[in-house]
Amino acid sequence: MRYFDPTTMTEVLPVIHNTAGTIELPDDNWFFTLSYMPQGKRLAANENGEPILVDITDSEQ
């Protein structure tokens, strides 16, 4: 099982990091399969704390 921290938007390694407040993700979750951020997107967390990609707004550029 893999873990995602919706506060820091990072993967959490249970042996190294504190897993409090993290979300368990299945091994095949897209967050762990991409090696780059698609152009025009940024990482965010949905209402369940799961990683999602959202469009970058003009004010964020």
Using only C-alpha atoms, the chain has a radius of gyration, in whole angstroms, of: 12
Per-residue pLDDT, 58: 72
Per-residue pLDDT, 26: 81
Please give the chain's pLDDT, 61 residues, in tens: 889 999 999 999 999 999 999 999 887 787 877 788 889 999 999 999 999 999 998 777 6
Per the structure, the count of domains in the chain is 1
Alpha-carbon dihedral sign for residues 46, 50, 5, 30: negative
The whole-model pTM stands at: 0.77
Instruction: Count the neighbouring beta carbons within 10 Å of the beta carbon of residue 56.
Output: 13
Give the span between the Cα atoms of 39 and 52, in whole angstroms. 14
Containing structural domain, residue 41: 2-60
